[in-house]
Structure formats: structure tokens, C-alpha cells
Structure 1
């Protein structure tokens, strides 16, 4: 098994979505997401699958964790079942419920920090990270969009 990571874009308040989609659009973040996930398995929940148009992202093995049976994508009832079929790098790409369960399986979290403040209803959040389990790397500004920054978190040894 290769790398197991979560990749996420979030606001300063840890918002990751609203009304079933991303409440922002940053091409530099989408480009980074593509670069990091190409050739890997991406695992997502059903709501994330629906938010990307219910069609596979090209150049990646697309897997959905759901209790429903979908015909256009590989589906598994649990993260453990999905991971049992994976070879190589795996990225968990959302949503909130999947992230909450998947972090126990991750060695790395790759975060894009967006400047947007998101208010209103139907807002979903990324789980809070326990600093005893996760070591934050340096905060770096995107070279192609200075509004964005990125930060990686590595699982602390023994956790």
C-alpha cells in the first residue's frame, strides 16, 4: 500500500462545503488537486460523488463509500472494504462524514486554505484535528494564486 491521505480545501472556519457543493472556485486549487490525485485511487462519499456530477474523474480510480448501489462507479459499504481493494496511493476527497471516518486511516492531510468566509445554512465542516495526533507542516502560499495557502499535516508516530 502506498500513501493514504486526505485532500481538502477549507475556509478559516473549516468549512468544506455548502448546499451540496464547494462554496468557492479556485482554478489553482483544482489544478493542485488534479496533480496530486492523478494515477491514484480517490475515495469519496455519495454526496461528494453527486457534487462532481456523478461521473468519474479521469485518470484516477474512483471509489464511492455508500450503502446504495450505484452503477456508474465502484461502490463499497465501508472504508475498510474499499481499502482492502486498493494498491498504490489513496486519497480521501470528502465529504465531511467520510473525512471523519477516514482520518483514522490517513498518514497525511493535504489542506488548501481558502480566504472565503461562508455563512448561511447547509454548511459542512472538516473535522477538528487533534494536535497530539497530527503535526502541522509549514504554511505555504500558492505560487499561482496568492489568495490561497497550503499546509500538510503528518500523523505523529505512534498515533
Structure 2
């Protein structure tokens, strides 16, 4: 199983503001859809709620929460990162889902899952924005940049792939 974090991040590491993205970049949204469609996605409760409390279609939505009575329709709920990894590994090992499982946020989930993360797909936006959620730091000793694809519209940004060394 390959655990891949996927996120869009401003130059100051901001990834969210008030439960939403602080920008609208259609090409990044399409990139996210193309990469995650047909795959398992792991996310925190606040990220799931930011979709209107409905699962994203054509994907298995696995939601991590400490709330014992949280039972959203169309999603599988687990109580911690370890349980999420174990559940996803069972599905991947059974052949029911592809090897690559995506971690889609939020900030605390990215941070907790970073030690187990194999790959990072990061849309690096070349400007600073105001926000309340940040992508965790990661070391060049742990991850190596293997691809970078620059874009310039509607803002300057790069699609960057990092692999664990």
C-alpha cells in the first residue's frame, strides 16, 4: 500500500481558512479529482464536513474522528490514524481497491500521518495567503523532489511530487 498525501499549499504553508480552501484554482481541483477518483481517501472529520457532510463520489471516504457518535452516510468512520491505516491496508490487500491511498487533510491528519506517508503530491502556490490550517513541515532528508510542473494561471503554482527516500 502506498500512502500519498495530496494538498495545495501557499508559500507560507497555509492549506485552509475557515474550513475551506483560500483560493480557487480549477486546474488544481481537476488534478485532485483525476488523482483520487477510484481510490480510498483518508480525511479528518472537519475535512469531510467541508464537503457538506457528503462523501466525494467515485472514492471510498474514510473519516478519522474522536466523536463516538459520528456516523455520516456514505463514509467509513475510524477513531485514529492507526485504525485508518489498518482498515485501508485490508481493503488494498484484498484487491478491492488500488494500492495508492490518498490522505486529503486536514492539517492535523497530514501531521499525524506524515511518518507513514510514502509520497506527497503538493500544489505549491507561489504567494502567501491568510489562513488557519497549515501543511506540516517535512525534511529533505526524508523526502526527495522527483517531479515539478510549473503553471502560471490563474496564479503561479507548481505541481510537485515528493517521494520518501
TM-score in terms of structure 2 length: 0.86
Question: Cα deviation per residue 1:87-120 (whole Å; 9 max; x = unaligned)?
Answer: 132100000000001111111000001234213x
Structure 1's consecutive aligned runs of 4 or more residues displaced over 4 angstroms after TM superposition are 143-146
**Structure 1's 139 and 89: CA in aligned 2 closer, same or farther, altered over 3 A?**
closer
Task: Quickly say closer, same or farther: Cα 1:131–1:58, change in 2 above 3 A.
Answer: same
Tell me how far 1:144 sits from its aligned partner.
7.6
Residues 16, 132 of structure 2: 8 Å contact kept: yes
RMSD of the TM alignment (CA)?
Answer: 1.7
More helix by proportion, 1 or 2?
2
Instruction: Tell me how far apart the structure 2 counterparts of residues 146 and 85 of structure 1 sit (CA, whole Å).
Output: 38
Q: Distance in 1 between matches of 2:47 and 2:129?
A: 18
CA offset at residue 12 of structure 1? 0.7
Contact kept, 8 Å, 1:28 with 1:145, in 2: the verdict is no
User: So what's the TM-score if we normalise by structure 1?
Assistant: 0.89
Distance in 2 (alpha carbons) for counterparts of 1:48 and 1:62: 11
Name 2:113's counterpart in structure 1.
102
Shift of residue 71, structure 1, vs aligned partner = 3.0
| Bigger shift: residues 144-153 or 60-69 | 144-153
Q: Which one is further off, 35-44 or 147-156?
A: 147-156
| Equivalent pairs, count | 153
Q: Mind listing any 5+ residue stretches in structure 1 that lack a counterpart?
A: none
Residue in 2 that maps onto 1:70: 71
How much does 1:146 deviate?
Answer: 6.8
Cα 1:153/1:76, change in 2 over 3 Å:
same
Structure 2 segments unaligned to the other structure (5+ residues): 93-98
